[in-house]
Amino acid sequence: MTTLWKKSGPSQHPAVSNYIISPECAEDKLLLEYDLQASLAHSQMLHHVGLINAKELKLLTQGLKKIQELNHDGNFTWDRSDEDSHTAIENHLTHHYGEVGKKIHMGRSRNDQVLVMTRLFSRGKISTIQGILLSTTHTLLQFAKQHEFIPMPGYTHTQQAMPSSVGQWAGSFVESLLDDYALLESAHSLNDQNPLGSAAGFGTSLPLDRDFTTQALGFKRTQINALYCQNSRGKIESFTISALFQVMLTLGKIANDLIWFMSKEFDFFTLDAALTTGSSIMPQKKNFDILEVLRANVSSIFANQVELQMVGHNLISGYHKDLKITKKGLIESFKIVEESLKMIILVFQHLKPNPEKLEQSFSVEIFATDQVNALVQQGVPFRAAYQSVAEQLHTLKKPDILGNISSKKHVGATGNLCLKKYARQIKELKIRINRL
């Protein structure tokens, strides 16, 4: 086989191809299905504008679908001599279907091929993650409902601050994930635009119908400016990873909280032993490795985001080979987030609060602010009430803790978490996803 750009002259030094091609092959193989989808749409468009005839379209369609079958069965392979999946597709079509295979590349470049297959991949992956995120949110919401009024200390500066509840703690992550969902919506919208037909980044003199492939591939709109199509490579991937990073920040905070709150020093929650690991030397250990790995993966996603931002920030307009590395971090980030969401679902399905430990952990001082507010309601100015309580902390007594958290009725307080609002929002988002 040969590269698409091979001309007369000396052969490329093998060290060059080894350096610039081999690391990318794994990503190309994962994205091949989307390259084939775009190639089918491109072939249909070429026929639509009269650049190939019906017989040629039939042969190209037959050939591309055959490659899809081979790929599905794991039998479509290529090596460094093919350079990439785009070359492998054209070489296969030319080898098995003759001269028509040489026409598949009319009006396009590998530049816009990479763009369109990455957009198709990302669009689908974002939708998948949105669905799993809503399942995760639902699981957390059920946990919050079930344990809504179990008292739990609230912390600031890693010290007990004010009374909270398991419901408020879990509910905070429900709302956080719903915000993360909105960011994923924005990422989906950016990926839902068609760059195919922008070619190398400057358009082409051939009479392409770019809106035709937009419709054929189910994109919401055509990305218009051919040069911006190329300049958006790395930018849109970076924003996508940024949205994924926000999801991981939420999950990482859950993981970090639980790692501390399940330690012997707290013992606020118990996780099923089947979800823990052990120690090779300490027989008593039950380690929360899944949460620790999840917490570490937050940094992995952030590293991928920074890499993409750094790769593209100092390039002049147009395509550069630097951009080849943008695929790896994107693919890895999708995988990590999808797996991490599933792990959080599993954790909360096997997590139980320990009410006695939670109540016993309440210090007397944690009720100091409530005592200040009680004086305020009697007409004492706030600062005077604050000073009075501060000077008499030793006289504070524990009130009825359940009564304390239940009595706070403003929106978002422990006695009014508005969990039904979250339930309605989740239901509406699930309906919207099912319509897509």
Instruction: Tell me the catalytic residues.
Output: 157, 279
Give the number of other CB atoms < 10 A from CB of residue 156: 8
Q: Is 383 exposed, middle or buried (0-12, 13-18, 19+ CB in 10 A)?
A: exposed
Output the CA torsion sign for 98, 100, 106, 109: negative
φ, ψ for residue 222 (rounded to 5)?
A: -95, 130
Residue with tokens 């009075």: 388
User: DSSP string spanning 212-262?
Assistant: HHHHHTT-SEE---HHHHHHTTTHHHHHHHHHHHHHHHHHHHHHHHHHHHT
| Tokens describing residue 142 | 């059920």
d(CA 407, CA 429): 32
Q: Report the alpha-carbon distance of residue 344 to residue 151 in Å, rounded.
A: 22
- The phi, psi pair for 135, rounded to 5°, reads -65, -40
Phi, psi of 406 (to 5 degrees): -75, -25
| Number of neighbours of residue 34 by Cβ within 10 angstroms | 21
